Chain A
């Protein structure tokens, strides 16, 4: 782990003093990060001790309360009603749909406009506000970061129990995210995350647990307990959720229960069909690759897969940079570096150390050189993103050059297709194919580089 990842973890940690093993290892040998950790701890401890004025009003309030000066609780005289938390979002959704159709406006668009209005509720326990697109994106990014953390642990884990633990942690992270989305109703986000959770549990845990040796089975106990907890939490939440949300939660509960049972019996589930997921976003790519890696013994294949992921990340960096979202771009930039340092490099090391790799030098070199495609995506967009986003992209490029295959290599092979963020794509005349010539390679001096014109 490098300083950037460690410091990112420290800044985003719930408990700064309780770092995970990887971070702790880095802290042990890095004075700068240790200093940052100490500073953050001092900062928070001092903030907690900041003096505050003493309120003089509490005594009077309590006296008034006990003297029955305040009206009693509105529902105190009736038995508590069964709350239908879903009725209001459902009504709002229905109204949005009708207005959207009448006005020729897409429902999503309308929903986003509605969500962007600051929520100042009249009542003290308002329904959770719908997330704006920006918040949803931030939240999805943070989830992707956490998922990637588990994914990289899995990608370099030496033993099968360690892989299962990492996959179980990934499932847990997805479940926590799904729980936090339940209040929003049956959103696309909830659907996607619950589907990913099911893939992790059904295709990942349940289908591979039977391959454990007898002495490794005790590792399954905490995983089974976790699945049982998820099952009970999902059922409990489903009781008060609107029907469509309840269906999603009950599917999660069923998956958790089914997998827990299979793990208890110590047998693997038969392989289930793996239908593709709608929407190929980064989170899905990370999670599905984790499920794939659980039974991928070849480090070279894993390194190659991680290179695919790195390419997608490079595209996301350009996407966010082009939209001026420098924080988001920087966030993914750090993840990209992690992929190279902790994922690709580690797996290549394992491949090199492996005895049966002697005849696979060419494959090894091919995988190593693939980082050039990531570099190419970043390089070609560098001059096209807004000025303020450029330093971030340059940092990402430096990280790739540092940890990837090095500087451009003549045998690197064809670069990937130009990535153009949605919304910035220009319509091309029909029949015109985009140039795939990378900038600065075979271009004649003075000629306009068409590929550059088309990207951003």
Chain B
């Protein structure tokens, strides 16, 4: 979908056209779902949150401005839905999780040597604090600019850059031996 098409569909959706919104939802659904899966680690939870994201977006799209960055806005809704669900589960502690708590605890040490590269990388990402993981996945997987990541996560673009910086540094450190081995093999 090029920029012009997207603008056309957004305008139509803002006027209440469900077909136009369906086009947008179909386009962005896989990306939002993948990102939420990266944050939650559960396909089921990601499904729920993605649906919630698009439902909220549909209900609110008429209140957006014509120049709203739809992609960043959708990630922002997804982020809020994720925070809400986590808050409910963890008695209101989730807001902090986007700031600094570590993600799911899975010690990859045992499986590192034999794991497939993807699995290894997946585990390394999971070990990142969730705030850093959210920013890194938006950059590496979804290709958002730092400015868009800032909008999505509700932080300044420079803070988004800072988080990606830290995430990359941690990943390089964690995956250093594996990267080295891979280089030797190739």
Contacts and interface: CB of A to CB of B under 8 A. Distances in A.
A48 B183 CA distance: 20
Nearest to B23: A62
A115 to B, nearest CB: 11
Nearest to A184: B156
Which of B57, B98, B117, B172: most chain A Cβ within 10 A? Answer: B172
Contacts of A142: 158-159, 161-162
A120 B87 contact: yes
B171 interface: yes
A89 B181 CA distance: 53
A398 B129 CA distance: 32
A299 to B, nearest CB: 32
Which of A126, A139, A176: most chain B Cβ within 10 A? Answer: A139
Contacts of A66: 18-19, 22
Contact of A43 (B18, B63, B145, B175): B175
A68 B21 CA distance: 12
Nearest to A140: B158
A121 B19 CA distance: 28
B147 interface: yes
Interface string A9-25: 00110100000000000
A55 B47 contact: yes
B111 interface: no
B155 A48 contact: no
A35 B156 CA distance: 30
Given A62-B26, A77-B16, A118 B98 contact: yes
B34 A52 contact: yes
Contacts of B77: 124-125
Contacts of A274: none
B16 A125 contact: no
Contacts of B26: 58, 62
B19 A50 contact: no
Given A43-B168, A143-B158, A181-B156, A14 B22 contact: no
A180 B150 contact: yes
Interface residues of B, number: 81
B2 interface: no
Contact of A72 (B16, B117, B162): B16
A138 B100 CA distance: 15
Contact of B122 (A14, A50, A131, A327): A50
A119 interface: yes
A72 B47 CA distance: 22
B99 to A, nearest CB: 7
Contacts of A62: 22, 25-26
Contacts of B18: 65-66, 68, 70, 72
Contacts of A124: 56-57, 59-60, 73, 76-77, 80
Contacts of A50: 118, 121-122, 125, 141
Interface in A32-83: 35-36, 39-40, 42-44, 46-58, 61-62, 65-66, 68, 70-77, 80-81, 83
Contact of B58 (A47, A49, A65, A126): A65
A117 B95 contact: yes
Contact of A74 (B59, B76, B162, B166): B59
B137 A47 contact: yes
Nearest to B172: A39
B62 A48 contact: no
A364 B58 CA distance: 67
A71 B59 contact: yes
A61 B54 contact: yes
B141 A61 contact: no
Given A125-B73, A142-B158, A44 B50 contact: no
Give 9 closest A-B pairs by Cβ, nearest first. A118-B95, A76-B16, A142-B158, A75-B62, A53-B43, A124-B77, A139-B158, A73-B62, A47-B140
24 contacts: A11-B165, A12-B164, A39-B172, A43-B121, A43-B140, A54-B30, A58-B25, A65-B21, A65-B22, A66-B22, A72-B16, A73-B14, A73-B16, A75-B63, A80-B62, A83-B65, A117-B95, A118-B83, A125-B68, A125-B73, A126-B76, A135-B155, A142-B158, A176-B157
Interface of A: 11-12, 14, 35-36, 39-40, 42-44, 46-58, 61-62, 65-66, 68, 70-77, 80-81, 83, 117-121, 123-126, 128-129, 131, 135, 138-139, 142-143, 176-177, 180-181, 240, 327
